[in-house]
Amino acid sequence: MAIFKAEKLEAFLRDWILKRKENEDGQIPSIDELSKYIQKIIPHRNEKQQLEDEARTEGITRPFLAKINIAFNAKADYYCFELPDLGFTYTDTRIEDYVWNRIKKELIAEAGGWGLIKLGYNPPEDGKSGKFTLLEYNNFCPYEVSLEAYKEARSKIEDTEEWMDILLGAIDYNAEGFELKGNLEQDTWLAKHTMLTRLLPFVQSRINLFELAPQQTGKSYIFGKVSKYGWLAGGGSLSRAKLFLDMRPGAKTRGLVTFNDYVAIDEIKSIKFTNDKEMAGILKGYMEDGFVNVGGTKIEGDAGMIFLGNINVNRMMSGQDMFEELPEVFRDSALIQRIHGFIPGYFIPPLSPDMRMNGWALNTEYFTEIMHLMRSPSETMKYRGMVEELVLVESRAKNVSGREVEAVMRLCTAYMKLFFPHANNDLIKTIKFKEEFNRYCLEPAVAMQKTVLEQMQIINPEEFSNKCMATYRVR
């Protein structure tokens, strides 16, 4: 709907609002009323002073939707919060213990999240500054999310390409729009599959991906607007403190990798790190192990690192140096070696109006909750076990990298969660499933990791020119 595009709302916010304002037939009775509700429930940054005044003069603000992050101020012994989109910072805020004890189960797992919020105000006392307080927080997921019901629904759909089309609709894309005039059937399949490959970090912990592709193919939308569990950092400056741990006096604030499913760094051609050498080292450590030590503090996270950029169309094939135009920090074979795969974004055509969903589809907010649940250790162990039973790794060479094998298996696990969530030990033994697993999961995973090796060979031929990949096949 045009009103949501005009407001530039994330898809999960849009679906939450629609859920509350639609009638029994799924229709919106009044666009005017919807517009007023959006303006009321989602304040803009320029309304900060109005919220401050409400909190100070009335004791409580109206409920509003916002992203909240939390931190513990060890020096003063209280929790505090920030509302980054509205300009409220940790130094301005406090969460009283009686409130914290009531809402911490919803907040602490994600170090914050999107929710319905009400603020209050504590005036200055005993020489201490006044603080804005969090009075209420409610996670706004309105659904009873059941993985088992979702898997059961998938099991009823025999055609995997039909399921692929359903997933495209769930992230706001019209599958029919990919069927461009004169386009070969295989090219259409590749375009759809590649678009959905971007969702692998949504369903699998600590998947590290690169995508260097044309403009206007939806990279920023997928990683920035679809899920409330991810973070898109645009071009500009990015610090170690923002990503991992802020050590400045006051609240010791955990970084983005500790409470997001993925952190996508966009426009990497123009990204500037406050300290390139420090960032290169810390990124390599985190991407390898899932933790780093910052100032004596161990920082752990499950977020995958996603690097996005636009490059010259003539440099988009894996045999070309795709890193030529990138900052030196990324032209490091040791960092590239920690990438699990390259998303072949050049298979996705420039987005057109026909490719945008306009009709009934699987609810985006519900789907992102499902993908988030799929990342749990128990789900991952189950699917990884099936992948290891399916995939045979063969190599005569002695120099096949253990990182390579792990990358292929990790990508296959994520693909299985996405396309075959209903998989079980009986289903994976069937010939049809093995054929589809090979096409939808194994072959793309191997191709994505092969691009990693080819780029390392180009950038560091002395070390990697003689390296070769193992052979992967379905048992």
pLDDT digits 0-9 by tens, 26-72 = 667 677 777 788 888 888 889 999 999 999 999 999 999 888 888 88
**What is the number of residues in the chain?**
475
The pLDDT value given to residue 7: 57
Statement: residue 207 has pLDDT above 90: yes
Statement: residue 305 has pLDDT above 70: yes
Statement: residue 426 has pLDDT above 90: yes
More reliable by pLDDT, 82 or 37: 82
User: What count of other Cβ atoms lies within 10 Å of the Cβ of residue 195?
Assistant: 25
Distance of CA 470 to the CA centre of its chain: 30
Band of pLDDT at residue 277, cut at 50, 70 and 90: confident
- Please tell me the pTM assigned to this model: 0.81
Distances (CA, A) of 358 to 28, 106, 286, 355: 14, 33, 40, 9
Phi/psi of residue 384, nearest 5 degrees: -65, -40
Q: What is the rounded average pLDDT of the residues 183-188? A: 76
Q: What is the rounded average pLDDT of the residues 436-445? A: 98
More reliable by pLDDT, 465 or 389: 389
User: What count of other Cβ atoms lies within 10 Å of the Cβ of residue 452?
Assistant: 26
The pLDDT mean for the chain works out to 87
The pLDDT value given to residue 387: 98
Lowest mean pLDDT among 1-10, 109-118, 332-341, 383-392: 1-10
Q: What are the residues whose beta carbons fall under 8 Å from the beta carbon of 74, sequence distance 6 or more?
A: 251, 252
Q: What is the rounded average pLDDT of the residues 379-398? A: 91
The pLDDT value given to residue 381: 97
Distances (CA, A) of 270 to 126, 222, 233, 265: 48, 20, 12, 11
More reliable by pLDDT, 428 or 244: 428
Band of pLDDT at residue 239, cut at 50, 70 and 90: confident
Please give the CATH architecture assigned to the domain spanning 147-355.
Answer: 3-Layer(aba) Sandwich (3.40)
Write out the two tokens for 463.
């070390």
Q: What is the rounded average pLDDT of the residues 233-262? A: 79
Band of pLDDT at residue 393, cut at 50, 70 and 90: very high
Residue-wise DSSP of 290-327: SEEEETTEEEE--PEEEEEEE--GGG-STTS-TTTTS-
The pLDDT value given to residue 41: 84
Going from N- to C-terminal start, the domains of the chain cover 2-139, 147-355, 374-474
Q: What is the rounded average pLDDT of the residues 402-414? A: 96
Return the percentage of the chain with pLDDT > 70, whole number: 91
The pLDDT value given to residue 465: 86
How many separate helices (H) and strands (E) can be counted in the chain? 19, 18
pLDDT digits 0-9 by tens, 86-137 = 999 988 999 999 999 988 877 765 545 788 899 999 999 887 889 999 999 8
Statement: residue 439 has pLDDT above 90: yes
Q: What are the residues whose beta carbons fall under 8 Å from the beta carbon of 447, sequence distance 6 or more?
A: 344
The pLDDT value given to residue 294: 84
Q: What is the rounded average pLDDT of the residues 303-321? A: 84
More reliable by pLDDT, 342 or 398: 342
Statement: residue 371 has pLDDT above 80: yes
Q: What is the rounded average pLDDT of the residues 299-307? A: 94
Q: What are the residues whose beta carbons fall under 8 Å from the beta carbon of 368, sequence distance 6 or more?
A: 12, 202, 226, 227, 228, 229
The pLDDT value given to residue 365: 83
The pLDDT value given to residue 460: 92
The pLDDT value given to residue 45: 87
The CATH class given to the 2-139 domain equals mainly beta
Sign of CA dihedral 41, 47, 50, 54: positive
Return the percentage of the chain with pLDDT > 90, whole number: 49
The pLDDT value given to residue 183: 60
The pLDDT value given to residue 71: 83
HSE-up of residue 415 (Cα within 13 Å, Cβ side): 27
pLDDT digits 0-9 by tens, 318-351 = 778 888 888 888 889 999 999 999 999 888 888 8
